[in-house]
Amino acid sequence: MNKNAINRICRKFGFEVHGTGYIQSVQKSSFKEDAFEKQAALLSSPAKIIFDVGANFGDTVLQYHNLFPGAAIYAFEPFPSTYEAMVQKTKHIDKLHPNLCALSDHAGKSVFYVNKNVDTNSLLPSQNMGLSSDAQVQQQGIIDVKLVTIDSFCLENNIGEIDILKLDIQGGELDALKGAARLLGQKKIKLIYAESYFRPQYVNQPLLYDIAKYLQQYNYQLQDIYNPIYGKGNIVWCDVIFMA
C-alpha cells in the first residue's frame, strides 16, 4: 500500500504519514512565525494592492483576502483548469482580478510544462534532485501560455504601487522580478513574498542566492525565511520575504 492510500485511511483519524523531510521541517519550524501574519505585521498600513502570482487553486487568495479584506487582489494562474477552479473558489471576492497568464521578463507566449502534481507546473522543464519531490514533477505534457510582465501589466491597468508581491511559480520567480525592474527601481513594491530553492528542481532554475543578488541592486534585503522543507538533512526550499 502506497503512502497516499495509507493517508486516505489515516485522515479519518486526524493524522497523516509524511516523509522525513517534512518531519524535519516541522521540527525546525515549530517556533517560526506564520508567514502571512508576518507580512501584515511588516507593512506600515493594510495592503491595498496584492499580486498573487501562481495563484493555483486560490488558497493564498483567500488567505490574503482574510488578512486584508479591503485589498484588490490580482491573481495570476496560467494553467486553465487550475485557473477555473481558482475563479470558482474565490468568486465571492469583489476586488479579485483573475488573470489567465504567466508573469515573466518579457511578453509573448511560452511553453508551459504540465507535471504529475499540478502544483509543480512550470515554465521550466523539471529534473530530478534525488528526493521524494522528484515523483511530483514528472512531466505529463506541455501547453502554450500567455506571458506578461509586471511592469507592463501595471502600466496598462494604472497600478502605481504593489503592497505585496507573492511569487510561487516553480523556478520562474527571478524572471518575474526582472519584469518588474521599473517598479523595483522606484521602490514601488513594498514587500516580496516568494518561494525559493537551494537546489534546482527545474532545468536552469535560479536559486535563492540568484534572487537575493538581483534584488540587492535595488536595495531589497532578505527579511527572513519561512516554511523550510528539508531533504536528506539539508534545506531544499523555503519561502522568503524581501523588503526595501
Q: Average pLDDT of 128-153?
A: 97
Based on the structure, what is the number of domains in the chain? 1
Query: Is 19 a member of any domain?
Result: no
Instruction: Please state the pTM of the whole predicted model.
Output: 0.88
| The pLDDT of residue 10 | 39
DSSP code per residue over 158-178: T---EEEEEE--TT-HHHHHH
pLDDT digits (tens, 9 = 90+) for 110-137: 999 999 999 999 999 999 999 999 999 9
Q: Which domain holds residue 137?
A: 27-228
Query: Is 191 a member of any domain?
Result: yes
DSSP code per residue over 91-113: TT-TTEEEE-SEE-SS-EEEEEE
Query: Is 3 a member of any domain?
Result: no
**109/219 Cα distance (integer angstroms):** 31
Query: Is 234 a member of any domain?
Result: no
Cell of 61: 487568495
Amino acid code (one letter) for 65: H
**111/198 Cα distance (integer angstroms):** 24
The CATH number linked to 70 is 3.40.50.150
Pick 242 or 15 by higher pLDDT: 242
pLDDT of 216 above 50: yes
Percent of the chain with pLDDT strictly greater than 90: 86
Query: Is 242 a member of any domain?
Result: no
Query: Is 239 a member of any domain?
Result: no
pLDDT digits (tens, 9 = 90+) for 48-73: 999 999 999 999 999 999 999 999 99
Query: Is 162 a member of any domain?
Result: yes
Place of cell 489515516: 10
Task: Report the chain's mean pLDDT, rounded to a whole number.
Answer: 91
Query: Is 16 a member of any domain?
Result: no
